[in-house]
Amino acid sequence: MKIALYPGSFDPITIGHLDIIERSAKIFDKVVIAILINPRKTPSFSAEKRKEMIERSVTHLQNVEVVVSSDLAIEVAKAHDAKILIRGIRAVADYEYELQQATTNMALDEEIETLFLVARPEYSFLSSSVAKELARYHCNLTKILPEAIIEEIEEKFR
């Protein structure tokens, strides 16, 4: 079974994230979405709330699981028998950061590979930060967030 891990903070999940998840779910037998707890960040949503929002957004995907961890992505991958780390790339700046992460992970475990999926052009500007900023200004979020979570995000930033 080919298992991939898609790590991130997902604070909140965007349709750009969802696109990467859907594309990965077509490639791999199982995709584990790992909400990683970063002590240097102050998230807008608890890890459990983010997990719940992602699960509501991926109900149409039978081969996707969502987990929460405070471990390194490489350790979460090993714990779930994932041999691939999925990373989305929106721009050159993402690539530079992700390349550093990928080479660090190679040093930690050379059996786990990183696969970069390029964001579709219509999602290349999207990030959780952009989503939250637009929500604060009560913008239309239908082209930003999965439909399953829009109402909740709007309520939080009302």
pLDDT digits (tens, 9 = 90+) for 112-139: 999 999 999 999 999 999 999 999 999 9
Alpha helices by DSSP H, 31-127: 47-57, 73-79, 92-108
Active site residues: 17, 41, 90, 128
Within 10 Å of residue 32's Cβ, how many Cβ atoms?
23
Structural domain spans, the chain? 3-156
Taking only the tens place, the pLDDT of each residue in 39-75 is 888 999 999 999 999 999 999 999 999 999 999 999 9
pTM comes to 0.95
Give the type of residue at 28. Answer: F
CA atoms within 13 A on the CB side of 51: 13
CA atoms within 13 A on the CB side of 120: 13
What value does the mean pLDDT take over residues 3-16? 97
> Taking the domain 3-156, which CATH number applies?
3.40.50.620
Q: pLDDT digits over 140-154, tens only? A: 999 999 999 999 999
